[in-house]
Amino acid sequence: MSTDQVSLFLGLLALLAEIATVVLVAALVVRAARPRTGWAAELLDAVRPVALGVAAVVAIVSMLGSLYYSEVANFPPCRLCWYQRIGMYPLAVILPIAACRRDWSVRWYALPLAVGAGLVSIYHVLIERYPSLESGSCDPTNPCSIIWVERLGYLTIPTMALSGFALIAVLLLLPKEIP
Amino acid sequence: MTRSSAPATRRRDAKQSRTPYFVIGGIAAAVLIALVVALAAGGGDDDNTTTGGGNADPATTGTVAVSGNPLPQFTDTSDDPAVGMTLPTLEGNDQSGAPMTIGADGRPTMIMFVAHWCPHCQREVPVVQQWVDDGRLPDGVDLVSVSTAIDPNRPNYPPDAWLADEGWTAPVLVDADNSAAQAVGLSAYPFFVAIDGDGTVVLRTTGELTTDQLDAIASTLAQAPTGG
Protein backbone atom coordinates (compact mmCIF):
# COMPACT_ATOMS: atom_id res chain seq x y z
CA MET A 1 0.00 0.00 0.00
CA SER A 2 1.20 3.49 -0.78
CA THR A 3 1.32 6.26 1.80
CA ASP A 4 -1.74 7.83 0.19
CA GLN A 5 -3.69 4.57 0.48
CA VAL A 6 -2.64 4.09 4.09
CA SER A 7 -3.66 7.67 4.84
CA LEU A 8 -7.06 7.14 3.27
CA PHE A 9 -7.52 3.90 5.22
CA LEU A 10 -6.55 5.57 8.49
CA GLY A 11 -8.73 8.55 7.61
CA LEU A 12 -11.75 6.32 7.05
CA LEU A 13 -11.08 4.56 10.36
CA ALA A 14 -10.94 7.97 12.02
CA LEU A 15 -14.26 8.84 10.41
CA LEU A 16 -15.75 5.60 11.76
CA ALA A 17 -14.36 6.45 15.19
CA GLU A 18 -15.99 9.88 15.04
CA ILE A 19 -19.36 8.40 14.06
CA ALA A 20 -19.11 5.80 16.83
CA THR A 21 -18.18 8.51 19.34
CA VAL A 22 -21.17 10.66 18.40
CA VAL A 23 -23.57 7.71 18.55
CA LEU A 24 -22.25 6.55 21.94
CA VAL A 25 -22.38 10.05 23.41
CA ALA A 26 -25.95 10.40 22.15
CA ALA A 27 -26.86 7.05 23.72
CA LEU A 28 -25.30 8.08 27.04
CA VAL A 29 -27.16 11.39 27.01
CA VAL A 30 -30.49 9.81 26.06
CA ARG A 31 -30.09 7.10 28.65
CA ALA A 32 -29.23 9.66 31.33
CA ALA A 33 -32.24 11.79 30.41
CA ARG A 34 -34.69 8.93 29.87
CA PRO A 35 -33.44 5.77 31.58
CA ARG A 36 -36.30 3.70 30.15
CA THR A 37 -35.52 4.59 26.53
CA GLY A 38 -35.01 1.28 24.76
CA TRP A 39 -32.52 1.89 21.97
CA ALA A 40 -29.95 3.71 24.10
CA ALA A 41 -29.93 1.09 26.83
CA GLU A 42 -29.81 -1.73 24.28
CA LEU A 43 -26.91 -0.10 22.42
CA LEU A 44 -24.93 0.47 25.60
CA ASP A 45 -25.74 -3.09 26.70
CA ALA A 46 -24.37 -4.37 23.43
CA VAL A 47 -21.21 -2.28 23.39
CA ARG A 48 -20.16 -2.46 27.02
CA PRO A 49 -18.92 -6.09 27.00
CA VAL A 50 -16.52 -5.28 24.18
CA ALA A 51 -15.78 -1.65 25.08
CA LEU A 52 -12.38 -2.31 26.67
CA GLY A 53 -11.34 -4.52 23.78
CA VAL A 54 -12.45 -1.97 21.18
CA ALA A 55 -10.63 0.79 23.07
CA ALA A 56 -7.49 -1.37 23.10
CA VAL A 57 -7.75 -1.96 19.34
CA VAL A 58 -8.23 1.76 18.71
CA ALA A 59 -5.11 2.54 20.75
CA ILE A 60 -3.04 -0.13 19.00
CA VAL A 61 -4.17 0.96 15.51
CA SER A 62 -3.45 4.60 16.39
CA MET A 63 0.02 3.70 17.61
CA LEU A 64 0.75 1.65 14.49
CA GLY A 65 -0.52 4.50 12.34
CA SER A 66 1.77 7.01 13.99
CA LEU A 67 4.70 4.61 13.69
CA TYR A 68 3.89 4.10 10.01
CA TYR A 69 4.01 7.84 9.38
CA SER A 70 7.32 8.34 11.17
CA GLU A 71 9.17 5.12 10.31
CA VAL A 72 7.82 4.20 6.87
CA ALA A 73 6.53 7.42 5.34
CA ASN A 74 9.40 9.37 6.97
CA PHE A 75 7.22 12.18 8.31
CA PRO A 76 9.21 13.39 11.33
CA PRO A 77 7.03 13.85 14.43
CA CYS A 78 6.88 17.44 15.64
CA ARG A 79 6.89 18.49 19.30
CA LEU A 80 3.11 18.24 19.69
CA CYS A 81 3.08 14.88 17.89
CA TRP A 82 5.43 13.59 20.58
CA TYR A 83 3.11 14.81 23.35
CA GLN A 84 0.23 12.92 21.72
CA ARG A 85 2.41 9.82 21.42
CA ILE A 86 3.11 10.09 25.13
CA GLY A 87 -0.63 9.73 25.62
CA MET A 88 -1.40 7.06 23.03
CA TYR A 89 1.48 4.60 23.37
CA PRO A 90 0.87 3.73 27.04
CA LEU A 91 -2.81 3.23 26.17
CA ALA A 92 -1.75 0.65 23.57
CA VAL A 93 -0.16 -1.33 26.40
CA ILE A 94 -2.47 -0.94 29.38
CA LEU A 95 -5.81 -1.17 27.55
CA PRO A 96 -5.17 -4.64 26.04
CA ILE A 97 -4.09 -5.90 29.47
CA ALA A 98 -7.20 -4.37 31.04
CA ALA A 99 -9.38 -5.88 28.30
CA CYS A 100 -7.95 -9.34 28.96
CA ARG A 101 -8.50 -8.96 32.70
CA ARG A 102 -11.86 -7.18 32.22
CA ASP A 103 -10.47 -4.59 34.58
CA TRP A 104 -12.64 -1.47 34.37
CA SER A 105 -10.55 0.29 36.98
CA VAL A 106 -8.14 1.01 34.13
CA ARG A 107 -10.29 4.02 33.39
CA TRP A 108 -8.64 5.82 36.30
CA TYR A 109 -5.30 5.55 34.49
CA ALA A 110 -6.39 5.61 30.85
CA LEU A 111 -8.91 8.44 30.90
CA PRO A 112 -6.42 11.13 32.03
CA LEU A 113 -4.04 10.02 29.28
CA ALA A 114 -6.76 10.05 26.60
CA VAL A 115 -8.29 13.35 27.69
CA GLY A 116 -4.94 15.11 28.21
CA ALA A 117 -3.48 13.99 24.90
CA GLY A 118 -6.81 14.70 23.21
CA LEU A 119 -6.56 18.31 24.36
CA VAL A 120 -3.08 18.46 22.83
CA SER A 121 -4.60 17.13 19.60
CA ILE A 122 -7.17 19.93 19.62
CA TYR A 123 -4.40 22.51 20.06
CA HIS A 124 -2.40 20.88 17.25
CA VAL A 125 -5.40 20.99 14.91
CA LEU A 126 -5.88 24.68 15.71
CA ILE A 127 -2.21 25.36 14.93
CA GLU A 128 -2.56 23.57 11.61
CA ARG A 129 -5.50 25.79 10.69
CA TYR A 130 -4.14 28.98 12.27
CA PRO A 131 -0.30 28.77 12.17
CA SER A 132 0.03 32.18 13.79
CA LEU A 133 -1.22 30.68 17.07
CA GLU A 134 2.15 28.96 17.41
CA SER A 135 4.40 31.71 16.09
CA GLY A 136 4.71 34.18 13.26
CA SER A 137 7.26 32.12 11.38
CA CYS A 138 8.29 28.53 10.67
CA ASP A 139 10.93 26.73 12.68
CA PRO A 140 13.44 25.69 9.97
CA THR A 141 13.50 22.12 11.27
CA ASN A 142 9.99 20.82 11.91
CA PRO A 143 7.18 23.23 12.77
CA CYS A 144 3.96 21.76 14.13
CA SER A 145 1.91 23.76 11.64
CA ILE A 146 2.90 21.56 8.68
CA ILE A 147 -0.02 19.56 7.32
CA TRP A 148 1.62 16.33 6.19
CA VAL A 149 -1.60 14.57 5.30
CA GLU A 150 -5.13 15.78 4.70
CA ARG A 151 -8.04 13.53 3.81
CA LEU A 152 -11.71 14.24 3.18
CA GLY A 153 -10.92 17.92 3.51
CA TYR A 154 -10.24 17.88 7.25
CA LEU A 155 -8.63 14.65 8.43
CA THR A 156 -5.03 15.48 9.27
CA ILE A 157 -2.74 13.41 11.51
CA PRO A 158 -3.71 15.22 14.75
CA THR A 159 -7.37 15.09 13.72
CA MET A 160 -7.09 11.32 13.37
CA ALA A 161 -5.37 11.16 16.75
CA LEU A 162 -8.15 13.24 18.29
CA SER A 163 -10.73 10.85 16.82
CA GLY A 164 -8.95 7.94 18.50
CA PHE A 165 -8.60 9.67 21.86
CA ALA A 166 -12.27 10.71 21.80
CA LEU A 167 -13.54 7.20 21.08
CA ILE A 168 -11.27 5.68 23.72
CA ALA A 169 -12.47 8.21 26.29
CA VAL A 170 -16.14 7.60 25.52
CA LEU A 171 -15.70 3.82 25.62
CA LEU A 172 -14.05 4.15 29.03
CA LEU A 173 -16.91 6.33 30.22
CA LEU A 174 -19.48 3.63 29.58
CA PRO A 175 -20.96 2.68 32.94
CA LYS A 176 -19.69 -0.53 34.42
CA GLU A 177 -23.15 -1.87 35.06
CA ILE A 178 -26.16 -1.14 32.88
CA PRO A 179 -29.27 -1.17 35.09
CA MET B 1 -45.06 -18.82 36.52
CA THR B 2 -41.55 -20.14 37.06
CA ARG B 3 -41.85 -22.63 34.17
CA SER B 4 -43.15 -19.98 31.79
CA SER B 5 -40.41 -17.41 32.61
CA ALA B 6 -37.44 -19.76 32.28
CA PRO B 7 -37.46 -19.96 28.46
CA ALA B 8 -37.80 -16.18 28.22
CA THR B 9 -34.84 -15.72 30.53
CA ARG B 10 -32.80 -18.17 28.47
CA ARG B 11 -33.75 -16.36 25.27
CA ARG B 12 -32.74 -13.02 26.78
CA ASP B 13 -29.46 -14.43 28.05
CA ALA B 14 -28.78 -16.00 24.68
CA LYS B 15 -29.53 -12.70 22.95
CA GLN B 16 -27.18 -10.82 25.28
CA SER B 17 -24.43 -13.37 24.84
CA ARG B 18 -24.70 -13.06 21.05
CA THR B 19 -24.82 -9.28 20.99
CA PRO B 20 -21.08 -8.56 21.37
CA TYR B 21 -20.40 -10.78 18.37
CA PHE B 22 -22.73 -8.62 16.29
CA VAL B 23 -20.87 -5.53 17.50
CA ILE B 24 -17.50 -7.10 16.74
CA GLY B 25 -18.74 -8.31 13.37
CA GLY B 26 -20.03 -4.84 12.53
CA ILE B 27 -16.73 -3.23 13.45
CA ALA B 28 -14.79 -5.80 11.43
CA ALA B 29 -17.04 -5.26 8.42
CA ALA B 30 -16.64 -1.48 8.64
CA VAL B 31 -12.84 -1.79 8.85
CA LEU B 32 -12.84 -4.19 5.89
CA ILE B 33 -14.94 -1.78 3.84
CA ALA B 34 -12.55 1.07 4.74
CA LEU B 35 -9.62 -1.07 3.62
CA VAL B 36 -11.28 -1.94 0.32
CA VAL B 37 -12.21 1.69 -0.33
CA ALA B 38 -8.63 2.81 0.41
CA LEU B 39 -7.16 0.19 -1.92
CA ALA B 40 -9.67 0.96 -4.65
CA ALA B 41 -9.35 4.74 -4.39
CA GLY B 42 -5.55 4.63 -4.61
CA GLY B 43 -3.36 7.65 -4.13
CA GLY B 44 -3.85 11.36 -4.29
CA ASP B 45 -4.34 13.88 -1.51
CA ASP B 46 -7.34 16.14 -1.90
CA ASP B 47 -5.34 19.25 -1.16
CA ASN B 48 -1.96 20.74 -1.87
CA THR B 49 -0.04 18.43 0.44
CA THR B 50 1.38 16.32 -2.34
CA THR B 51 4.50 14.35 -1.78
CA GLY B 52 6.74 12.98 -4.41
CA GLY B 53 10.16 11.83 -5.41
CA GLY B 54 13.11 13.90 -6.44
CA ASN B 55 14.42 14.43 -9.95
CA ALA B 56 17.09 16.42 -11.76
CA ASP B 57 14.87 19.45 -12.25
CA PRO B 58 16.94 22.63 -11.77
CA ALA B 59 13.99 24.10 -9.87
CA THR B 60 14.48 21.54 -7.12
CA THR B 61 18.14 20.53 -7.26
CA GLY B 62 20.04 23.77 -7.88
CA THR B 63 22.70 24.69 -5.35
CA VAL B 64 24.25 28.02 -4.43
CA ALA B 65 27.93 28.94 -4.35
CA VAL B 66 28.63 31.42 -1.56
CA SER B 67 31.53 33.86 -1.72
CA GLY B 68 32.23 36.22 1.14
CA ASN B 69 31.79 36.03 4.88
CA PRO B 70 28.52 34.53 6.11
CA LEU B 71 26.22 36.67 8.23
CA PRO B 72 25.70 35.77 11.90
CA GLN B 73 22.60 33.80 12.86
CA PHE B 74 19.58 36.09 13.05
CA THR B 75 17.98 36.48 16.45
CA ASP B 76 16.21 39.82 16.55
CA THR B 77 15.58 42.77 14.26
CA SER B 78 16.63 45.26 16.90
CA ASP B 79 20.40 45.45 17.34
CA ASP B 80 21.06 42.97 14.53
CA PRO B 81 24.86 42.59 14.22
CA ALA B 82 24.52 41.80 10.51
CA VAL B 83 23.30 45.32 9.73
CA GLY B 84 26.20 47.14 8.09
CA MET B 85 27.91 43.91 7.04
CA THR B 86 28.25 42.95 3.39
CA LEU B 87 25.99 40.21 2.11
CA PRO B 88 27.99 37.29 0.71
CA THR B 89 27.47 36.86 -3.00
CA LEU B 90 25.06 34.02 -3.80
CA GLU B 91 25.55 32.41 -7.20
CA GLY B 92 23.39 29.61 -8.54
CA ASN B 93 20.54 29.06 -10.92
CA ASP B 94 16.92 30.12 -11.14
CA GLN B 95 14.05 27.67 -11.50
CA SER B 96 14.59 27.35 -15.25
CA GLY B 97 18.28 26.56 -14.78
CA ALA B 98 19.56 29.96 -15.97
CA PRO B 99 22.46 31.45 -13.95
CA MET B 100 21.40 33.87 -11.24
CA THR B 101 23.37 35.93 -8.73
CA ILE B 102 22.28 37.82 -5.65
CA GLY B 103 24.68 40.39 -4.27
CA ALA B 104 25.88 43.95 -4.79
CA ASP B 105 24.64 44.97 -8.21
CA GLY B 106 24.16 48.67 -7.67
CA ARG B 107 20.44 48.41 -6.86
CA PRO B 108 18.85 48.12 -3.45
CA THR B 109 17.28 44.68 -3.16
CA MET B 110 14.77 42.95 -0.94
CA ILE B 111 15.50 39.22 -0.70
CA MET B 112 12.77 36.84 0.47
CA PHE B 113 13.68 33.28 1.53
CA VAL B 114 10.81 30.79 1.37
CA ALA B 115 10.32 27.09 2.05
CA HIS B 116 7.59 25.32 0.08
CA TRP B 117 6.39 23.32 3.11
CA CYS B 118 6.16 26.28 5.50
CA PRO B 119 2.54 27.40 6.12
CA HIS B 120 3.69 30.93 6.92
CA CYS B 121 5.48 31.13 3.56
CA GLN B 122 2.36 29.78 1.88
CA ARG B 123 0.41 32.64 3.43
CA GLU B 124 3.04 35.33 2.88
CA VAL B 125 3.80 34.70 -0.81
CA PRO B 126 0.35 35.81 -2.05
CA VAL B 127 0.50 38.83 0.26
CA VAL B 128 3.83 39.93 -1.20
CA GLN B 129 2.70 39.20 -4.76
CA GLN B 130 -0.43 41.28 -4.26
CA TRP B 131 1.74 44.04 -2.81
CA VAL B 132 3.90 43.94 -5.95
CA ASP B 133 0.85 43.79 -8.23
CA ASP B 134 -0.51 46.88 -6.49
CA GLY B 135 2.61 48.75 -7.62
CA ARG B 136 3.90 49.32 -4.10
CA LEU B 137 7.46 48.11 -4.87
CA PRO B 138 9.41 51.32 -5.61
CA ASP B 139 10.95 51.59 -9.08
CA GLY B 140 14.49 51.75 -7.75
CA VAL B 141 14.18 48.64 -5.58
CA ASP B 142 14.38 45.00 -6.71
CA LEU B 143 12.62 42.02 -5.16
CA VAL B 144 14.21 38.60 -5.50
CA SER B 145 13.48 35.33 -3.75
CA VAL B 146 15.30 32.19 -2.71
CA SER B 147 13.59 28.81 -2.71
CA THR B 148 15.32 26.90 0.07
CA ALA B 149 14.90 23.83 2.30
CA ILE B 150 13.56 21.90 -0.69
CA ASP B 151 12.43 18.43 0.36
CA PRO B 152 10.40 16.10 -1.87
CA ASN B 153 9.06 14.29 1.21
CA ARG B 154 7.51 17.45 2.59
CA PRO B 155 4.13 18.95 1.65
CA ASN B 156 3.49 21.38 -1.20
CA TYR B 157 6.31 19.98 -3.32
CA PRO B 158 7.65 21.02 -5.82
CA PRO B 159 8.23 24.69 -5.00
CA ASP B 160 8.22 25.89 -8.61
CA ALA B 161 4.68 24.58 -9.11
CA TRP B 162 3.55 26.27 -5.90
CA LEU B 163 5.11 29.63 -6.83
CA ALA B 164 3.67 29.40 -10.35
CA ASP B 165 0.22 28.75 -8.87
CA GLU B 166 0.60 31.89 -6.78
CA GLY B 167 1.56 33.93 -9.86
CA TRP B 168 4.95 34.69 -8.30
CA THR B 169 6.84 37.12 -10.54
CA ALA B 170 10.08 37.75 -8.61
CA PRO B 171 13.20 35.89 -9.77
CA VAL B 172 13.80 32.71 -7.75
CA LEU B 173 17.27 31.44 -6.80
CA VAL B 174 17.22 27.71 -6.08
CA ASP B 175 18.94 26.72 -2.82
CA ALA B 176 18.36 23.00 -2.52
CA ASP B 177 21.15 22.37 0.01
CA ASN B 178 20.45 25.44 2.20
CA SER B 179 23.86 27.01 1.48
CA ALA B 180 22.34 30.44 0.85
CA ALA B 181 20.06 30.16 3.88
CA GLN B 182 23.02 29.39 6.14
CA ALA B 183 25.12 32.16 4.59
CA VAL B 184 22.56 34.83 5.46
CA GLY B 185 22.01 33.52 9.01
CA LEU B 186 18.43 32.39 8.39
CA SER B 187 16.66 31.34 11.58
CA ALA B 188 13.04 30.92 10.46
CA TYR B 189 10.77 31.09 7.40
CA PRO B 190 9.86 33.31 5.68
CA PHE B 191 13.09 35.30 6.02
CA PHE B 192 13.82 38.73 4.60
CA VAL B 193 17.16 40.42 3.95
CA ALA B 194 17.31 43.97 2.64
CA ILE B 195 20.57 45.21 1.08
CA ASP B 196 21.54 48.50 -0.48
CA GLY B 197 23.25 48.87 -3.83
CA ASP B 198 26.65 48.16 -2.28
CA GLY B 199 25.44 44.85 -0.89
CA THR B 200 25.41 46.19 2.65
CA VAL B 201 22.75 44.67 4.88
CA VAL B 202 20.15 47.27 5.85
CA LEU B 203 17.75 44.99 7.67
CA ARG B 204 16.92 41.34 8.38
CA THR B 205 13.60 40.10 9.65
CA THR B 206 11.45 36.98 9.68
CA GLY B 207 7.80 35.96 9.79
CA GLU B 208 4.69 37.06 7.98
CA LEU B 209 4.98 40.75 7.14
CA THR B 210 2.04 43.02 6.52
CA THR B 211 1.91 45.22 3.45
CA ASP B 212 2.62 48.22 5.69
CA GLN B 213 5.80 46.52 6.93
CA LEU B 214 6.77 45.75 3.33
CA ASP B 215 6.16 49.42 2.48
CA ALA B 216 8.44 50.49 5.33
CA ILE B 217 11.29 48.20 4.22
CA ALA B 218 10.91 49.24 0.59
CA SER B 219 10.89 52.94 1.39
CA THR B 220 14.02 52.51 3.52
CA LEU B 221 15.70 50.75 0.62
CA ALA B 222 14.54 53.39 -1.86
CA GLN B 223 16.49 55.95 0.14
CA ALA B 224 19.53 53.68 0.52
CA PRO B 225 22.74 54.18 -1.49
CA THR B 226 22.55 52.71 -4.99
CA GLY B 227 26.20 51.76 -5.05
CA GLY B 228 28.61 51.86 -7.91
ipTM: 0.77
3-state DSSP percent of chain B in helix, strand and coil, to 5: 35, 20, 45
The answer to whether B83 and B202 have CB atoms below 8 angstroms apart is yes
The mean predicted confidence, pLDDT, of chain B is 86
How many degrees, rounded to 5, is the angle at CA B180 between CA B174 and CA B181? 105
Q: Report the SS3 class of residue A107.
A: helix
- pLDDT band for position B55 (cuts 50, 70, 90): low
Tell me the residue type at A29.
V
State whether A147 and B47 contact (CB < 8 Å). yes
Nearest to A113 by CA among A132, A134, A98, A129: A98
How distant is the alpha carbon of residue B1 from its chain centre?
Answer: 77
- pLDDT band for position B19 (cuts 50, 70, 90): low
Cα B93 to Cα B101: distance, rounded to the nearest angstrom: 8
The mean predicted confidence, pLDDT, of chain A is 91
Give the pLDDT score at B56: 73
Reported as a single tens digit per residue, the pLDDT across B104-121 is: 989 999 999 999 999 999
Give the pLDDT score at B18: 55
Question: What are the distances in angstroms from CA B128 to CA A51, B172, B181, B208?
Answer: 53, 14, 20, 10
Reported as a single tens digit per residue, the pLDDT across A163-172 is: 999 999 999 9
What percentage of chain B reaches a pLDDT higher than 90? 64
Chain B residues within 8 Å of chain A (Cβ atoms): 16, 19-20, 22-24, 27, 30-31, 34-35, 37-39, 41-47, 49, 51, 115, 117-121, 123, 149, 153-155, 181, 186-191, 206-208
What percentage of chain A reaches a pLDDT higher than 70? 96
Cα B173 to Cα B145: distance, rounded to the nearest angstrom: 6
Compute the Cα dihedral for A98, B22, A179, A175 and give only its sign.
positive
Q: Which residue has the higher pLDDT, A136 or A85?
A: A85
Give the pLDDT score at A60: 96
* Whether the predicted pLDDT of B95 surpasses 60: yes
Mutation site, A8, A23, A124, interface B, largest B CB count within 10 A: A8
Mutation site, A6, A75, A137, interface B, largest B CB count within 10 A: A137
Give the pLDDT score at A94: 96
Q: Which residue has the higher pLDDT, B147 or B76?
A: B147
- pLDDT band for position B66 (cuts 50, 70, 90): very high
Give the pLDDT score at A9: 93
State whether B49 and A150 contact (CB < 8 Å). yes
How many degrees, rounded to 5, is the angle at CA A15 between CA A12 and CA A18? 155
Cα B30 to Cα B47: distance, rounded to the nearest angstrom: 26
